[in-house]
């Protein structure tokens, strides 16, 4: 029977999610969730082969039945253990288009991914927290974006999803904070340095967010005591215009 507190990272590809997984895996056995196993297999193998403990589960967070089944697997594997931290880092699900070219499904995709996905994730992780059982207060962190604060032209789908996610994060922080659960929202404002953005060239060096540094901030938020919970932190490269 596992008893060590563990962590769950949802939305793990080769970028931020993998770095957050690596960071939390230094202290906890971790579960990573992603639609496509190809997205998490690399980091799962890496963690397991370097002294950590990681499990990958393939699931689509916007599909409530699938999420339920994924968490039954988690509860069975970690029966007797407490959840120490959970990170919702899912992306995707939206398109960038002139508004009149958007289909209803495309517009709704932002909310499916960010609103409904985060809802399903939160519904399952919150009951696994136990504020008196872990070293640090149990922590639920959501990943936001520039579009969490600004609805730009052609970004209706993404902004609607990210605004909704921020609303959810605020609502959960206000409901579960007083129960000793730390809910936080991190706004990533800029391009992240991941394989997909490798070729994006900027005038100045170091112009992309470092996933490892993002992960350190998530870890810092996790370690805050309940006297001093951070709710929102915005991260951007030094040269970013904002």
125 contacts 62 by C-beta, under 8 angstroms: no
Residue 77, judged by CB atoms within 10 A of its CB (0-12, 13-18, 19+), counts as: middle
Instruction: Of 147, 18, 124, 14, give the one whose Cα is nearest residue 78.
Output: 124
Instruction: Of 80, 69, 68, 85, give the one whose Cα is nearest residue 31.
Output: 85
In angstroms, the first-to-last Cα distance of the chain is 49
Q: Which residue's CB is nearer to a second copy, number 74 or number 159?
A: 159
User: At what angle are helices 211-223 and 16-25 packed, to 10 degrees?
Assistant: 50
Nearest distance in Å: CB 13, a second copy? 18
Q: Which residue's CB is nearer to a second copy, number 56 or number 193?
A: 193
Nearest distance in Å: CB 51, a second copy? 24
Q: Which residue's CB is nearer to a second copy, number 46 or number 216?
A: 216
Q: Which residue's CB is nearer to a second copy, number 53 or number 180?
A: 180
- The Cα 194–Cα 213 span in angstroms is 13
Nearest distance in Å: CB 130, a second copy? 15
Nearest distance in Å: CB 215, a second copy? 10
Nearest distance in Å: CB 27, a second copy? 16
- The Cα 187–Cα 179 span in angstroms is 24
Q: Which residue's CB is nearer to a second copy, number 54 or number 186?
A: 186
Nearest distance in Å: CB 2, a second copy? 24
Q: Which residue's CB is nearer to a second copy, number 4 or number 96?
A: 96
- The Cα 90–Cα 36 span in angstroms is 12
- The Cα 107–Cα 73 span in angstroms is 32
Residue 78 has φ and ψ, to the nearest 5°, of: -110, 25
């Amino acid at each position: 029977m596992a008893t060590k507190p563990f962590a769950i990272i949802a939305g793990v590809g080769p970028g931020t999610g993998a770095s957050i997984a690596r960071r939390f895996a230094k202290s906890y056995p971790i579960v990573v969730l992603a639609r496509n196993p190809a997205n998490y297999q690399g980091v799962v193998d890496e963690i397991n082969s370097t002294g950590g403990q990681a499990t990958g589960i393939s699931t689509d967070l916007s599909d409530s039945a699938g999420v339920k089944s994924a968490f039954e697997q988690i509860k069975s594997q970690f029966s007797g253990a407490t959840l120490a931290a959970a990170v919702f880092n899912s992306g995707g699900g939206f398109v960038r288009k002139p508004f009149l070219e958007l289909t209803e499904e495309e517009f709704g995709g932002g909310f499916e991914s960010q609103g409904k996905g985060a809802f399903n994730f939160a519904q399952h992780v919150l009951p696994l927290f136990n504020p008196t059982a872990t070293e640090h207060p149990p922590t639920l962190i959501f990943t936001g974006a520039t579009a969490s604060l600004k609805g730009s032209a052609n970004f209706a789908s993404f902004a609607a999803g990210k605004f909704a996610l921020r609303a959810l994060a605020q609502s959960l922080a206000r409901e579960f904070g007083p129960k000793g659960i730390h809910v936080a929202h991190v706004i990533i404002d800029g391009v992240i340095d991941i394989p997909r953005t490798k070729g994006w060239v900027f005038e100045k060096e170091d112009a992309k967010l470092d996933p490892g540094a993002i992960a350190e901030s998530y870890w810092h938020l996790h370690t805050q005591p309940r006297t001093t919970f951070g709710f929102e932190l915005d991260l951007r490269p030094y040269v970013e215009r904002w």
